[in-house]
Copies of this chain bind each other. A is one copy, B any other.
Protein backbone atom coordinates (compact mmCIF):
# COMPACT_ATOMS: atom_id res chain seq x y z
CA UNK A 1 0.00 0.00 0.00
CA UNK A 2 1.32 3.40 -0.96
CA UNK A 3 2.58 5.41 1.95
CA UNK A 4 1.94 9.09 2.42
CA UNK A 5 4.15 12.16 2.64
CA UNK A 6 2.56 15.41 3.77
CA UNK A 7 4.11 18.79 3.04
CA UNK A 8 3.79 21.90 5.22
CA UNK A 9 5.74 24.93 4.06
CA UNK A 10 5.77 28.71 3.85
CA UNK A 11 6.62 28.51 0.12
CA UNK A 12 3.28 29.72 -1.25
CA UNK A 13 2.14 28.41 -4.60
CA UNK A 14 3.31 31.13 -7.01
CA UNK A 15 6.76 29.64 -7.49
CA UNK A 16 7.88 26.17 -8.56
CA UNK A 17 9.38 25.29 -5.17
CA UNK A 18 6.66 22.87 -4.05
CA UNK A 19 6.53 21.20 -7.47
CA UNK A 20 10.28 20.68 -7.43
CA UNK A 21 10.10 18.93 -4.06
CA UNK A 22 7.46 16.61 -5.51
CA UNK A 23 9.69 15.87 -8.50
CA UNK A 24 12.50 14.80 -6.19
CA UNK A 25 10.15 12.69 -4.06
CA UNK A 26 8.61 10.89 -7.04
CA UNK A 27 12.02 10.32 -8.62
CA UNK A 28 13.00 8.30 -5.55
CA UNK A 29 9.66 6.96 -4.28
CA UNK A 30 7.46 6.60 -7.35
CA UNK A 31 4.56 5.11 -5.41
CA UNK A 32 4.44 7.74 -2.65
CA UNK A 33 1.20 9.65 -2.14
CA UNK A 34 1.87 13.32 -1.49
CA UNK A 35 -0.64 15.49 0.39
CA UNK A 36 -0.25 19.25 0.78
CA UNK A 37 -1.23 20.21 4.32
CA UNK A 38 -0.64 23.83 3.46
CA UNK A 39 1.98 25.96 1.77
CA UNK A 40 0.38 29.08 3.19
CA UNK A 41 2.22 29.23 6.51
CA UNK A 42 3.17 32.88 6.97
CA UNK A 43 6.84 33.30 6.07
CA UNK A 44 8.88 31.74 8.84
CA UNK A 45 5.93 31.40 11.26
CA UNK A 46 7.02 28.35 13.25
CA UNK A 47 4.11 28.61 15.67
CA UNK A 48 1.51 28.40 12.92
CA UNK A 49 3.27 25.35 11.49
CA UNK A 50 3.19 23.70 14.90
CA UNK A 51 -0.56 24.16 15.24
CA UNK A 52 -1.23 22.91 11.71
CA UNK A 53 0.75 19.73 12.33
CA UNK A 54 -0.93 19.12 15.66
CA UNK A 55 -4.36 19.59 14.17
CA UNK A 56 -3.85 17.54 11.02
CA UNK A 57 -1.47 14.71 11.73
CA UNK A 58 -3.83 12.60 13.81
CA UNK A 59 -6.09 12.16 10.77
CA UNK A 60 -3.44 10.40 8.68
CA UNK A 61 -2.75 6.67 8.42
CA UNK A 62 0.18 4.97 10.18
CA UNK A 63 3.67 5.61 8.85
CA UNK A 64 2.77 8.92 7.25
CA UNK A 65 5.88 11.13 6.91
CA UNK A 66 4.97 14.73 7.75
CA UNK A 67 7.55 17.02 6.18
CA UNK A 68 7.84 20.59 7.40
CA UNK A 69 9.89 23.20 5.59
CA UNK A 70 9.36 26.42 7.50
CA UNK A 71 12.99 27.16 7.81
CA UNK A 72 14.22 30.68 8.44
CA UNK A 73 17.66 29.32 9.34
CA UNK A 74 18.24 27.32 6.14
CA UNK A 75 21.89 26.98 5.28
CA UNK A 76 22.97 28.06 8.77
CA UNK A 77 23.74 26.14 11.96
CA UNK A 78 20.28 24.81 12.82
CA UNK A 79 19.80 21.04 13.01
CA UNK A 80 17.34 19.03 10.95
CA UNK A 81 15.44 16.48 13.03
CA UNK A 82 13.30 13.40 12.57
CA UNK A 83 10.81 12.76 15.36
CA UNK A 84 8.45 9.85 15.84
CA UNK A 85 5.11 10.34 17.61
CA UNK A 86 2.89 7.29 17.86
CA UNK A 87 2.83 5.79 14.40
CA UNK A 88 3.61 9.06 12.61
CA UNK A 89 6.96 10.49 11.49
CA UNK A 90 7.88 14.18 11.43
CA UNK A 91 10.77 15.72 9.56
CA UNK A 92 11.54 19.39 10.25
CA UNK A 93 14.18 21.98 10.96
CA UNK A 94 14.92 22.13 14.70
CA UNK A 95 13.09 25.36 15.37
CA UNK A 96 10.09 24.41 17.49
CA UNK A 97 7.71 23.40 14.71
CA UNK A 98 7.32 19.95 16.27
CA UNK A 99 6.58 21.24 19.79
CA UNK A 100 2.92 20.23 19.76
CA UNK A 101 3.34 16.77 18.25
CA UNK A 102 6.27 15.85 20.49
CA UNK A 103 5.29 13.24 23.09
CA UNK A 104 6.91 11.58 26.09
CA UNK A 105 7.66 8.48 24.03
CA UNK A 106 8.88 10.28 20.91
CA UNK A 107 12.16 9.13 19.48
CA UNK A 108 14.27 11.94 18.00
CA UNK A 109 17.15 11.76 15.53
CA UNK A 110 19.44 14.40 14.14
CA UNK A 111 19.57 14.17 10.34
CA UNK A 112 23.24 13.91 9.42
CA UNK A 113 23.52 11.00 6.96
CA UNK A 114 24.28 12.92 3.80
CA UNK A 115 24.18 9.77 1.67
CA UNK A 116 20.42 10.25 1.85
CA UNK A 117 20.55 13.78 0.41
CA UNK A 118 20.76 14.92 -3.20
CA UNK A 119 24.35 14.71 -4.44
CA UNK A 120 24.74 18.51 -4.45
CA UNK A 121 23.19 20.28 -1.47
CA UNK A 122 22.51 24.01 -1.91
CA UNK A 123 22.66 26.48 0.96
CA UNK A 124 19.21 27.90 0.17
CA UNK A 125 16.80 25.07 -0.69
CA UNK A 126 17.05 22.18 1.75
CA UNK A 127 13.41 21.35 0.98
CA UNK A 128 14.58 20.06 -2.38
CA UNK A 129 18.05 18.84 -1.49
CA UNK A 130 17.54 17.25 1.94
CA UNK A 131 13.89 17.06 3.06
CA UNK A 132 12.44 15.64 -0.17
CA UNK A 133 14.94 12.80 -0.67
CA UNK A 134 14.79 11.98 3.05
CA UNK A 135 10.99 11.79 3.03
CA UNK A 136 11.21 9.54 -0.03
CA UNK A 137 13.67 7.24 1.74
CA UNK A 138 11.41 7.03 4.80
CA UNK A 139 8.29 6.04 2.83
CA UNK A 140 10.49 3.52 1.06
CA UNK A 141 11.00 1.91 4.44
CA UNK A 142 14.24 3.39 5.76
CA UNK A 143 14.76 2.70 9.48
CA UNK A 144 14.53 6.12 11.21
CA UNK A 145 17.72 5.37 13.12
CA UNK A 146 19.60 5.41 9.79
CA UNK A 147 19.22 9.18 9.41
CA UNK A 148 21.66 10.02 12.18
CA UNK A 149 22.34 9.92 15.93
CA UNK A 150 19.59 9.96 18.53
CA UNK A 151 18.86 13.14 20.48
CA UNK A 152 17.36 13.68 23.92
CA UNK A 153 14.34 15.94 24.42
CA UNK A 154 16.52 18.67 25.84
CA UNK A 155 18.68 18.70 22.75
CA UNK A 156 15.92 20.03 20.51
CA UNK A 157 13.91 23.24 20.61
CA UNK A 158 10.49 22.77 22.21
CA UNK A 159 8.45 25.96 22.46
CA UNK A 160 5.67 26.62 24.99
CA UNK A 161 3.21 27.37 22.22
CA UNK A 162 0.19 28.21 24.28
CA UNK A 163 0.90 31.03 26.68
CA UNK A 164 -2.64 31.17 27.99
CA UNK A 165 -2.70 31.86 31.75
CA UNK A 166 -5.19 29.99 33.92
CA UNK A 167 -6.29 32.05 36.92
CA UNK A 168 -9.15 31.87 39.38
CA UNK A 169 -12.39 31.93 37.43
CA UNK A 170 -10.70 32.94 34.15
CA UNK A 171 -8.32 31.93 31.40
CA UNK A 172 -6.48 34.69 29.54
CA UNK A 173 -5.12 33.79 26.13
CA UNK A 174 -4.56 35.43 22.79
CA UNK A 175 -5.32 35.22 19.10
CA UNK A 176 -2.70 33.03 17.49
CA UNK A 177 -4.20 32.67 14.04
CA UNK A 178 -6.91 33.96 11.73
CA UNK A 179 -8.25 31.40 9.31
CA UNK A 180 -9.59 31.78 5.79
CA UNK A 181 -13.10 32.52 7.11
CA UNK A 182 -11.87 35.25 9.46
CA UNK A 183 -12.32 33.05 12.53
CA UNK A 184 -9.95 34.08 15.32
CA UNK A 185 -8.14 31.02 16.62
CA UNK A 186 -6.86 31.32 20.18
CA UNK A 187 -4.39 29.39 22.29
CA UNK A 188 -7.10 28.47 24.81
CA UNK A 189 -7.56 24.73 24.63
CA UNK A 190 -10.78 23.01 25.60
CA UNK A 191 -8.96 21.27 28.45
CA UNK A 192 -8.17 24.61 30.15
CA UNK A 193 -11.80 25.16 31.10
CA UNK A 194 -13.04 23.75 34.40
CA UNK A 195 -14.92 20.46 34.69
CA UNK A 196 -16.94 19.35 31.74
CA UNK A 197 -17.39 22.71 30.11
CA UNK A 198 -20.10 21.38 27.85
CA UNK A 199 -22.47 20.76 30.76
CA UNK A 200 -23.48 24.36 30.90
CA UNK A 201 -21.98 26.60 28.26
CA UNK A 202 -23.92 29.55 29.60
CA UNK A 203 -21.56 29.64 32.60
CA UNK A 204 -18.85 31.16 30.46
CA UNK A 205 -18.39 34.53 28.90
CA UNK A 206 -15.64 35.57 26.52
CA UNK A 207 -14.18 39.06 26.28
CA UNK A 208 -12.36 40.31 23.20
CA UNK A 209 -11.50 44.01 23.20
CA UNK A 210 -14.66 45.83 24.22
CA UNK A 211 -16.94 43.02 23.00
CA UNK A 212 -18.44 40.07 24.87
CA UNK A 213 -19.39 36.71 23.32
CA UNK A 214 -20.97 33.53 24.61
CA UNK A 215 -19.62 30.05 23.96
CA UNK A 216 -21.91 28.05 21.70
CA UNK A 217 -21.73 24.62 20.09
CA UNK A 218 -21.93 25.70 16.46
CA UNK A 219 -22.19 28.77 14.22
CA UNK A 220 -25.90 28.25 13.62
CA UNK A 221 -26.60 28.61 17.34
CA UNK A 222 -26.64 32.38 16.86
CA UNK A 223 -28.50 34.34 14.22
CA UNK A 224 -26.84 35.40 10.98
CA UNK A 225 -24.19 38.03 11.64
CA UNK A 226 -24.08 37.20 15.34
CA UNK A 227 -20.81 36.98 17.26
CA UNK A 228 -20.00 33.79 19.15
CA UNK A 229 -17.16 31.75 20.61
CA UNK A 230 -16.87 28.01 20.07
CA UNK A 231 -14.37 25.20 20.25
CA UNK A 232 -13.30 24.71 16.65
CA UNK A 233 -12.00 21.72 14.78
CA UNK A 234 -8.61 22.06 16.47
CA UNK A 235 -10.19 21.96 19.97
CA UNK A 236 -9.03 25.49 20.62
CA UNK A 237 -11.43 28.33 21.34
CA UNK A 238 -12.35 30.36 18.27
CA UNK A 239 -14.19 33.65 17.92
CA UNK A 240 -16.53 33.61 14.93
CA UNK A 241 -19.45 35.35 13.25
CA UNK A 242 -22.21 33.16 11.86
CA UNK A 243 -21.96 33.47 8.07
CA UNK A 244 -19.58 36.39 8.53
CA UNK A 245 -15.97 37.34 9.20
CA UNK A 246 -14.99 37.95 12.82
CA UNK A 247 -11.56 39.39 12.04
CA UNK A 248 -13.11 42.07 9.86
CA UNK A 249 -16.01 42.79 12.22
CA UNK A 250 -13.75 43.14 15.26
CA UNK A 251 -10.73 44.56 13.41
CA UNK A 252 -8.73 41.94 15.28
CA UNK A 253 -5.21 40.84 14.70
CA UNK A 254 -2.73 38.26 15.90
CA UNK A 255 -1.84 38.56 19.63
CA UNK A 256 -5.09 40.34 20.63
CA UNK A 257 -6.09 39.27 24.14
CA UNK A 258 -9.04 36.94 24.76
CA UNK A 259 -10.36 36.27 28.26
CA UNK A 260 -12.78 33.52 29.22
CA UNK A 261 -14.35 33.94 32.64
CA UNK A 262 -16.95 32.04 34.67
Binding site for B on A (CB under 8 A): 1-2, 4, 6, 8, 10-20, 22-24, 26-27, 30-31, 33, 35-40, 43-44, 52, 55-57, 59-61, 64, 72-77, 122-125, 128, 179-181, 217-221, 230, 232-233, 243, 245
Contacts and interface: CB of A to CB of B under 8 A. Distances in A.
A201 B19 CA distance: 31
Contacts of A77: 220
Contact of A181 (B43, B73, B230, B232): B43
Among A43, A122, A180, residue most surrounded by chain B Cβ atoms (within 10 Å): A180
A218 B59 contact: no
Give 9 closest A-B pairs by Cβ, nearest first: A75-B218, A76-B220, A12-B180, A123-B218, A14-B40, A125-B233, A19-B37, A23-B59, A23-B60
Copies of this chain in its oligomeric complex? 3
Among A16, A33, A56, residue most surrounded by chain B Cβ atoms (within 10 Å): A16
A80 to B, nearest CB: 14
7 contacts: A14-B179, A15-B179, A22-B35, A30-B33, A74-B219, A75-B220, A122-B233
Contacts of A16: 8, 37-38, 52, 55-56
Contact of A19 (B12, B13, B36, B243): B36
A5 B210 CA distance: 45
B76 A219 contact: yes
Given A61-B26, A218-B123, A38 B19 contact: yes
B30 A61 contact: yes
A14 B13 CA distance: 10
Given A10-B180, A77-B220, 11 more contacts: A15-B38, A16-B38, A18-B36, A23-B56, A23-B64, A43-B181, A73-B220, A74-B219, A75-B219, A124-B218, A125-B233
